[in-house]
Amino acid sequence: MSQRLDYNQIAPAGAKALGGVYGYVMGSGLSAVLVDLVYLRVSQINGCAFCLDMHTRDLLAKGQPVEKLALLQAWREAGGLFDARERAALAWAESVTRVAETGVPDEAYANAREAFSERELVDLTIAIGLMNAYNRMAISFRNTPKAVLDLARQA
């Protein structure tokens, strides 16, 4: 897989605008680990290799155990590896990311509101929307994951 184009170079103002939203999310008060778990789960759903690689590395650097990351895709069956807020965020992220299938039902909203304040839920939904946008950019323009670049350098 080779990169089709570098959207950061071609549309730097657009990339900067997305970066501004990222900065907002990181300053929102939501836990950085929680946000990265959501980013990783959204990227799993969307099949974005670039973002899977990046957010896995980010979570490992933040001290998250590899077992937790390995079971993220099956978080419902992962016992106590995920706390109540993480489980609520992951469920919300799945429903919002799959909006065309789910319609984000009232039950999903009610469950998310049990764990998050209104502001937190809005901020979390902004984060989910942002990651969906980044996934679409990375997949469409074939951003190469760092792991693939590292392997090519070793060869």
- Looking up residue 131, the CATH number of its domain turns out to be 1.20.1290.10
Which residue range is the domain that position 136 belongs to? 31-154
Indicate the DSSP class of residue 134.
Answer: H
CA 148 vs CA 45, 54, 67, 144: distances in Å: 20, 12, 22, 7
Domain assignment present for residue 21? The answer is no
User: What is the number of domains present in the chain?
Assistant: 1
pLDDT digits (tens, 9 = 90+) for 10-48: 999 999 999 999 999 999 999 999 999 999 999 999 999
Domain assignment present for residue 24? The answer is no
| Amino acid, res. 21 | V
Residues 28 and 38: their CA atoms lie apart, in Å, by 15
Contact (CB, 8 A) for 59 and 36:
yes
pLDDT, residue 1, reads 67
**pLDDT cut 70: percent of the chain above it:** 99
Domain assignment present for residue 55? The answer is yes
Report the chain's C-alpha Rg in angstroms. Answer: 16
pLDDT digits (tens, 9 = 90+) for 109-129: 999 999 999 999 999 999 999
Domain assignment present for residue 147? The answer is yes
Would you tell me how many other CB atoms lie within 10 Å of the CB of residue 150?
A: 10
Beta strands in the chain (DSSP E): none
Strand, helix or coil at 71? Answer: coil
Domain assignment present for residue 7? The answer is no
Indicate the DSSP class of residue 136.
Answer: H
Domain assignment present for residue 15? The answer is no
Domain assignment present for residue 112? The answer is yes
Residues 121 and 115: their CA atoms lie apart, in Å, by 9
Would you tell me how many other CB atoms lie within 10 Å of the CB of residue 120?
A: 18
Domain assignment present for residue 36? The answer is yes
pLDDT, residue 144, reads 81
Model confidence at 154: pLDDT above 90: no
